[in-house]
Chain A
Amino acid sequence: MSAQPNPNLATQGTPGRIVRRPWPAPGVWLKYVFLTVGAVIMLVPFADMVLGSLRTIPERLAHPPVYWPHDPQWRNFGRVFRDLPMLRWIGNSIIVTTAVTGVQLVTSAMAGYALAKFKFKGRDLMLRCVLGAQMFPFFLFLIPMFFILRFWPLAGGNGLTGQGGTGLLNNYLALILPFAVSWYGIFMMRQFMVSIPDELLDAARVDGAGEFRIFFTIALPLAKTALATLGIFVFIYQWNEVIWSMTVTRIAPRLQTVPVGIYLIRGAFIDERTLSLQQASLAVSVVPVLVLFLMLQRYYVRGVTAGGVKG
């Protein structure tokens, strides 16, 4: 395509002239119309949330309520940090999410490496267990996990028998340990590690390198992209995790994460006067992840390609 289409022609040219540069075939622009409509549907809820956070109380109480805020209440975003323990929630989210991501990367890489690069008794069985474990829905673990953490021996004032204290329940570990291993993560890392050539590892062995050195200096660096991808997966998933965190931190408010905090304090948003604040806090909970995702989305897309489909 040589010349740029003249915008004037397209908008105000006479019909006779346009014949020479006709509209592209419907298939060409129709798909952009389709994608744009879809994109609007994806984005409008976010816009609605931000608009909602900017409304004044009289606008909410008007009959009918005013949709477009005329006097945007940007200070609601300040109130999110002043009137709600938002900073603590964000701090907790960061601690828990980072820890889970780190631990899961380590456990997944180690297990994936062993399952991919070693022949040993029980390997196939273990691989099948890893795959099978993914079939167990999380709700099955909600109730018993609570008890296991509560009666964890020698923690939180507990004795050897798990009595006497609170176990791990009053502790960040309650939010971290149940997510220390991801079966999906192991499988994904295993699929990746399989493609590392054995010759590379054997050559290092011949050179006298120890197995752990081989793992850390050869296998891990080669798996950097896969690790980055898994890391983003885990981070986003964990940041948005609600059910388990809510079940545990209901009784330990100082451990609440952002979405859990906002949900459990819903009783404070009972009337029209506080709904703008609620929507502002929702916006605050959403934005950091969206920014992170948009910055790293390249890895994410690549990761789905690498780990999603196993033929």
Chain B
Amino acid sequence: MIHLDRRTSMKRLVDGIVRALVVVGALTATGASAQGITLTIATHYTDEQRGPLTGCLREYERLNPGTAIVHRQLSYRDFLQTLFMSRMSGKPPDIYNLSTAWTAQLVESGALAVPPAAVTDFVVGNYLANTSETMTANGHVWGIPAEVDVYMLIYNKILFARAGIAKPPTNADEFVKDAASISKSNRQGQLTTAGFGFGPSPDQVVAPFLTLLNSNGGSLFSPDRKSTNLTSATARDALETEVRLFTTKGTSRGAAPNQFSSGSLGMMIVPNWYQKQLHQELGEHFDETVGVAPIPGGMNWRTVQYGFFWAVDATSQHPAEAWALLKWLNTARTPGGRSCVGDMLLDLGALTGNKDDLAASAADIGNPFMRPFVDALSSGRALPEVSIPHANEIKDLLSNYTERALLGMLSPEQALSEADNGIRLILRESE
């Protein structure tokens, strides 16, 4: 009796395990789509930002029955790590919108598909040369250029007038002095109005420093990209200017570009795509509030430009379809009109290297806000970010050390020499 009973219980348990395994199997069975292909696009644009693009993707699906397009938004900060983990997981997206700073690293590791000759020709024929340079490596242009951005000084005209300052600063000393005279603190010692401000992310911390560095005639990396110029006097001057902003209470670590529209920020060094946000937040007060000026780095001021490009994953099952889609998205839809990507970028307040898009956007880029950005780009004052392996890690490191100097934890010399050490270590390792 007991035996029998135990055996049935045993059997029940085995049954249970088998059933559980079947459920596991059913859960894991990938729902293989019946027919047609699915292209996955990964970008960092939010739903709102890529509104014009979404319409185009739906249209493309209508024009090409059997092709479904899925978009995946990834936070810019998480982009590279997500890309890596997707590739690890064996099912990466087909199409990426990538920062040009990552080109070297991604190409070196074989993550990107080589574009067909037709696409390369398309890029060479239709894009400004300096936008495709940063995505060229090992003799290939690794995709289609997309968003281009330039950093400039944006200032609040009302706050400047209130502080009795007639024009935006043109050199470091004026920059520091103006910021200090615009700042206002409350009785707790917090800046309720800051003369200058930058955001919390490593990119945002490093950008003002790099523009000042470039203006002094410096550059972050040595020409051979094996070491940095951070221990030079120009780098020290650039960082010291920023430190002075802190010591004269012209800025504090909490002052960020988000506060510009509320009138709590006098100046910020930000890219052109802030235009859309400022327009939406300021509405009719935009023109009387927002001014754009060169980087306050003297007569020979320089700035930084950065960009993105469309690329296809090396393991994509449908590279031909992916490139076809990308080409369609980047081709003017009507003669003299703009491409889908152009629509999205200009709606964002971003720039592009696409000649047709630029030609069709005279109104968008000719306004007083955009004009200085476009000029900086075309005059060659905007120096492209160098593409280098471990670009993100290097930027994090540089941001960590500049922040230490800004907060008074290290002297500028110390911070820069430590950053130089750390970056050289990374550069040497990736040889």
Contacts and interface: CB of A to CB of B under 8 A. Distances in A.
Judge A-B direct contact (beta carbons within 8 Å): yes
B75 A266 contact: yes
B387 interface: no
A199 interface: no
Contact of B262 (A61, A171, A252): A61
Interface string A254-297: 00000000001111101111000000000000000000000000
A268 B78 CA distance: 13
Q: Which 7 A-B pairs have the closest CB atoms?
A: A212-B9, A267-B75, A210-B5, A210-B9, A210-B6, A268-B46, A155-B28
B90 A210 contact: no
Given A171-B28, A265-B75, A267-B75, A212 B12 contact: yes
Contacts, number: 106
Given A63-B192, A210-B8, A273-B281, 6 more contacts: A63-B263, A156-B30, A172-B27, A268-B48, A272-B262, A272-B281
A105 interface: no
A247 to B, nearest CB: 8
B2 interface: yes
A208 B8 CA distance: 13
Contact of B2 (A64, A155, A210): A210
A91 B276 CA distance: 35
Interface string B364-393: 000000000000000000000000000000
Interface in B44-83: 44, 46-48, 72-78, 81-82
Interface string B88-110: 11110000000000000000000
A170 B28 CA distance: 8
Contact of A164 (B44, B48, B90): B90
A302 interface: no
B135 to A, nearest CB: 23
B317 to A, nearest CB: 12
A126 interface: no
B281 A57 contact: yes
Interface residues of A, number: 43
Interface string B274-294: 000100110000000000000
Interface in A94-133: none
A253 interface: yes
Given A63-B264, A173-B24, A267-B44, A272 B90 contact: no
B90 A167 contact: yes
B161 interface: no
B90 A212 contact: no
A100 to B, nearest CB: 14
22 contacts: A57-B281, A64-B264, A65-B262, A156-B28, A156-B90, A157-B90, A165-B91, A166-B30, A169-B89, A170-B30, A173-B27, A205-B2, A208-B2, A210-B5, A210-B8, A212-B6, A251-B85, A251-B91, A253-B72, A268-B47, A271-B281, A272-B281
Nearest to B193: A63
B27 A61 contact: no
Interface in A209-223: 209-213
A170 to B, nearest CB: 7
B421 to A, nearest CB: 27
Contacts of B30: 156-157, 165-166, 170
Contacts of B277: 271, 273
Interface string B13-30: 100000000001001101
A166 B75 CA distance: 23
Given A65-B262, A267-B75, A272-B281, A209 B91 contact: no
Given A63-B262, A272-B281, A273-B281, A208 B5 contact: yes
Contacts of A60: 262
Among B28, B47, B78: residue with most chain A CB under 10 A: B28
Contacts of A171: 27-28
Interface in A168-222: 168-173, 205, 208-213
Interface of A: 57, 60-65, 83, 146, 150, 155-157, 164-173, 205, 208-213, 250-253, 264-268, 270-273
A166 B89 contact: yes
Contacts of A264: 75, 78
A155 B30 CA distance: 9
Interface of B: 1-2, 5-6, 8-10, 12-13, 24, 27-28, 30, 44, 46-48, 72-78, 81-82, 85-86, 88-91, 192-193, 258, 261-264, 277, 280-281
A83 B73 CA distance: 14
Contacts of A83: 47
Contacts of B6: 210-212
B286 to A, nearest CB: 13
B91 A64 contact: no
Contacts of B280: 273
B89 A150 contact: yes
Nearest to A253: B72
B27 A272 contact: no
A61 B24 CA distance: 51
Contacts of A170: 30, 89, 91
A217 B263 CA distance: 70
Nearest to A163: B90
B258 A272 contact: yes
A251 B82 contact: yes
Given A272-B258, A272-B262, A265 B73 contact: yes
Given A61-B281, A170-B30, A251 B5 contact: no
Nearest to A169: B89
B90 A150 contact: yes
A104 B431 CA distance: 49
Contacts of B90: 150, 156-157, 164-167, 169
Nearest to A170: B91
A150 B77 CA distance: 24
Contacts of B27: 171-173
A266 B72 CA distance: 14
Contacts of A212: 6, 9-10, 12-13
Contacts of A213: 5, 9
A209 B263 contact: no
Nearest to B186: A64
A163 to B, nearest CB: 8
Given A150-B89, A157-B30, A273-B281, A211 B9 contact: yes
